[in-house]
Amino acid sequence: MRYFIQFLLLLTLINPLYAETIDATIFTTPKQEQRYQALIGEIRCPVCQGQSIGGSNASLAQDLRAKVRSLILQDKTNDDIRQFMVDRYGDFVVFKPPMNANTYLLWFLPFAFLAFAMFLLMRSFGRKEPAINLDTSKAKELLK
């Protein structure tokens, strides 16, 4: 019984370490809440780099969610909110980066690589070496 009580005591001490906060967001209209959910899914967490700010528990992601909420309540458009985040954190912060001089390689390099691979593939099919004609009489003489 003593070990069981110690185990329960240990569980009560460890449990707060894994507790997560729940964002209690209050909006005036359901449309604002839909915009909020869509935007926090589109903006990447600068700390986690693979998650959206909606799925991240980092403190910066919590701050960014609060900022998105405040900008929505200020009646900013989705484009204005995205532009605010891009101005502050760079093009990396959005999952769909804009097409500009800094991101041309990101947009067009896969297509250039595909075109180059297709060129090499077509070139390898087009170049067929002629079959080697061996004169069997010469081969027989060499084998003697």
List the helix and strand counts (H, then E) for the chain: 6, 0
Report CA Rg, the chain.
31
Residue 44, pLDDT above cutoff 80: yes
Specify the pTM: 0.59
Q: How many domains does the chain have?
A: 2
Per the domain annotation, does 136 fall within a domain? no
Q: Band of the pLDDT at 131, cuts 50, 70, 90?
A: low
**Is residue 73, in this structure, part of any structural domain at all?**
yes
What number of other Cβ atoms are within 10 A of residue 112's Cβ? 10
Same-domain status, 86 and 106 = no
Do both 75 and 108 map to the same domain? no
In tens, the pLDDT along 82-101 reads 999 989 988 888 888 777 78
23 and 92 share a domain? yes
Which CATH number characterizes residue 19's domain? 1.10.8.640
